[in-house]
Structure 1
Amino acid sequence: MIENKLNNIYPYSFSREMDFMFTGEYLNGTLFFEYNPDKNEYISVKEIQDRNNLLRFGTVGHGIRIYFDIPTGSFYIDGNKIDFLYKIKDKEYTLTNNFKLYNDLIYFKNVYSDFNTKTGYHGSFNIYGYNLGYETKIIKDDIEFYFKPILNIAQNQPMNFQIRLVSNKDLDGEIVIKVNNLKQYNIYAPLQKNEGGQLTWIIRN
């Protein structure tokens, strides 16, 4: 079994400017971080190379490790596994765990800045949210799903998933969220052909 190095890294940001920073792990065990304190350099998600050999991608901060597995798309939040599927009556379509690479990475920050309309002065930019996820296409039977789960880590608010799902057919079903394969949350989510649907799922302790 390949060691999960992200589970053992220091769960705080190296940068004083960010409460969270992204990090990742390759198949060969190499780790990378958004901020390199030795060089005082930052990288962007666009600069991440060799994504076909990525094993995990996530973020650390405030003592918490959050990431998803590239080969499965399953999220792990402080050790809790989260999976997604779409269910129509007795038929289930898995959105994670599909023997494909979930390596179309998404990571961005929510920022704000004060602006004085009289003087035109811009204050410093402040980060109030961090967003982590991916987008992918999944084909099941004759149905094509576009799936885009984004985990939002907001300041002074509970974490939440912004889940976007599009189908090439009209579907009357529900999104099912499984936590540790024990708890299950069913959310009614009918889909119209080629029209995006989006829901917010707030993570409760």
Structure 2
Amino acid sequence: MIFADSRNIQAISLPFNWNADYADGKNYAEYDLLTHKKNDFYLIQKNQVIRFGLFGQGMKFFFEMSDGSFYLHGRRIEIEYINDDGKTFSLTTNFANKDLITYKEAFTDYNNTQGVQKSNLKSINFGYKTIYQKDDVLLFFQPIVSLPFSESAFIEVKLTSNKDLYGHLVFKSRGVEVERFYAPLEANISGQMNWTIKH
């Protein structure tokens, strides 16, 4: 298990590698740590995953599969939606199924004399999508942690409600509110925002 291990395990080939920690104590990483052979994301045993995220550069960024809470370089980050009537939707304390997400964003330069140049990696990203239910409210929730190479890390949050909601999106670090944003939701229309991770 990489995320529960106190050792600083280095990423292979890239600044960060994805990794899934399994319930049996094993792990499945983007590159096999012994052979350095690339593994297939689609062969992750999803029903065995207890943590998923990225490691490298002496850092670990992951979420707990059980509830969806994020641990970003040792800090627990939670996301809530608080309705104007005071009802709290603890989005990252959600025990519903989660679909794993990871992807890399890259760009390629082109010029007329040399043609297509080498691809440049812009960011490495991970997160999940899930449905949060409380009473008669259904929320489609998709948090993605983005580690760009030229700017600060951020969390992209997509949120869709089955009914109109008026309230705030709240970000907490270790249980303490860090920032909140007014975020009204129109039924069945996705809202999206990027939150720069505060230290």
TM over 0.5: yes
- Asked if the contact 1:45–1:105 (Cα under 8 Å) also holds between the matched residues in 2, the reply is no
CA distance in 1, matches of 2:117, 2:28: 31
User: Which residue pairs with 2:11 in the alignment?
Assistant: 13
Q: 1:185 aligns with which of 179, 182, 190?
A: 179
Q: 1:80 aligns with which of 66, 75, 81?
A: 75
Q: 2:66 aligns with which of 53, 71, 74?
A: 71
Structure 2 residue 59 is the aligned partner of structure 1 residue 34: no
CA distance in 2, matches of 1:138, 1:14: 35
Structure 2 residue 56 is the aligned partner of structure 1 residue 61: yes
- Asked if the contact 2:157–2:192 (Cα under 8 Å) also holds between the matched residues in 1, the reply is yes
User: Which residue pairs with 1:144 in the alignment?
Assistant: 138
Deviation at 1:27, TM superposition (A): 0.6
User: Which residue pairs with 1:169 in the alignment?
Assistant: 163
Q: 1:111 aligns with which of 95, 106, 110?
A: 106
CA distance in 2, matches of 1:4, 1:127: 24
Q: Deviations over 1:104-124 (max 9, x none)?
A: 0000001112222355x2222
Q: 1:101 aligns with which of 97, 101, 123?
A: 97
Deviation at 1:7, TM superposition (A): 4.1
CA distance in 2, matches of 1:4, 1:37: 10
- Asked if the contact 1:161–1:200 (Cα under 8 Å) also holds between the matched residues in 2, the reply is yes
- Asked if the contact 1:164–1:197 (Cα under 8 Å) also holds between the matched residues in 2, the reply is yes
Q: Deviations over 1:101-154 (max 9, x none)?
A: 33x0000001112222355x2222221201110001111111110000001100
Deviation at 1:83, TM superposition (A): 1.0
- Asked if the contact 2:20–2:44 (Cα under 8 Å) also holds between the matched residues in 1, the reply is no
Q: Secondary structure at the match of 1:113?
A: strand
Paired amino acid for 1:24:
A
User: Which residue pairs with 1:195 in the alignment?
Assistant: 189
CA distance in 1, matches of 2:3, 2:181: 34
Larger deviation, residues 132-141 vs 28-37: 28-37
Deviation at 1:9, TM superposition (A): 4.1
CA distance in 1, matches of 2:44, 2:178: 34
Structure 1 runs of 4+ aligned residues shifted over 6 Å read none
Taking a change above 3 Å as real, the CA distance of residues 36 and 28 of structure 1, as seen in their structure-2 partners, is same
Q: Secondary structure at the match of 2:47?
A: helix
Paired amino acid for 1:10:
N
Q: Secondary structure at the match of 2:10?
A: coil
Normalized against structure 2, the TM-score is what? Answer: 0.92
Q: Which has the higher strand share?
A: 2
Q: CA RMSD in A?
A: 1.8
Q: Secondary structure at the match of 1:95?
A: coil
CA distance in 1, matches of 2:155, 2:94: 20
- Asked if the contact 2:3–2:62 (Cα under 8 Å) also holds between the matched residues in 1, the reply is no
